[in-house]
Amino acid sequence: MEVLRIPFNSTKVRNFFHNLVHDTIKERQQKGIFRPDMLQLLMQAREGQLKAEAGDEQENISGAKLKKLTDFDMTAQAVIFFFAGFDTVSTAMSYCAYALARHPEVQQRLQREVDEAFEKNDGKLTYEAVQEAKYMDMFISEVLRLYTAVPSLDRKCTKDFTIPAHGNVPAYTVRKGENIVLPVLPLHKDPKYWDDPETFDPERFSEENKHKITPFTYMPFGVGPRICIGNRFALLEAKVALAHLLRHFSIQATSKTAPKAEFAANDLSGAMKGGTWVGFAQRAQ
Ligand code: HEM
Q: Which of 221, 226, 235 to mutate to test the pocket of ligand 1 (most atoms within 8 A of CB)?
A: 221
Angle at which helices 104-120 and 71-102 cross, to 10°: 110
Question: What CA–CA distance (Å, rounded) separates 224 from 217?
Answer: 13
Question: What CA–CA distance (Å, rounded) separates 80 from 84?
Answer: 6
Q: How confident is the model at residue 72 (pLDDT cuts 50, 70, 90)?
A: confident
Q: Which of 57, 81, 87, 88 to mutate to test the pocket of ligand 1 (most atoms within 8 A of CB)?
A: 88
Q: What is the ipTM of this complex?
A: 0.98
- 156: which strand partners? 179
Amino acid at the residue 45: A
- Residues 156-172: pLDDT tens digits? 999 999 999 999 999 99
Q: Are 189 and 199 in contact (CB under 8 A)?
A: no
Residues 6+ apart with CB under 8 A from 119: none
Position in ligand 1 atom list of the atom nearest CA 86: 27
Q: Name the DSSP letter for residue 155.
A: E
Using DSSP's 3-state secondary structure scheme, residue 182 falls into strand
Cβ atoms within 10 Å of 75's Cβ, excluding its own: 22
**Residue 144 pLDDT greater than 90, yes or no:** yes
Q: 128: part of which helix (H) or strand (E)?
A: helix 127-132
- Residues 215-224: pLDDT tens digits? 999 999 999 9
Sign of CA dihedral 265, 267, 271, 274: negative
Q: Are 124 and 132 in contact (CB under 8 A)?
A: no
Residues having CB closer than 6 A to ligand 1 are 81, 84-85, 88-89, 92, 149-150, 153, 220-223, 226-230, 233-234
Using DSSP's 3-state secondary structure scheme, residue 104 falls into helix
**Ligand 1 geometric centre to CA of 220 (Å):** 9
Question: What CA–CA distance (Å, rounded) separates 128 from 119?
Answer: 13
Q: Are 262 and 273 in contact (CB under 8 A)?
A: yes
**Ligand 1 geometric centre to CA of 221 (Å):** 6
Compute φ and ψ for 180, nearest 5 degrees. Answer: -125, 135
Looking at per-residue pLDDT, the higher value among 272 and 66 belongs to 272
Looking at per-residue pLDDT, the higher value among 52 and 284 belongs to 284
Give this prediction's pTM: 0.84
**Ligand 1 geometric centre to CA of 231 (Å):** 6
**Ligand 1 geometric centre to CA of 83 (Å):** 9
**Ligand 1 geometric centre to CA of 226 (Å):** 9
Write the residue with the smallest CA distance to atom 37 of ligand 1: 228
- Annotated binding site: which residue ranges? 228
Question: What CA–CA distance (Å, rounded) separates 153 from 193?
Answer: 19
Write the residue with the smallest CA distance to atom 36 of ligand 1: 228
Question: What CA–CA distance (Å, rounded) separates 144 from 115?
Answer: 24
Instruction: Report CA Rg, the chain.
Output: 22
- 153: which strand partners? 182
- Residues 17-63: pLDDT tens digits? 889 889 999 999 999 999 998 889 888 888 876 665 555 444 444 55
Buried b (16+ CB within 10 A) or exposed e, 17-55: ebeebeebbeeeeeeeeeeeeebeebbeebeeeeeeeee
- Annotated binding site for heme: which residue ranges? 228
Question: What CA–CA distance (Å, rounded) separates 203 from 281?
Answer: 26
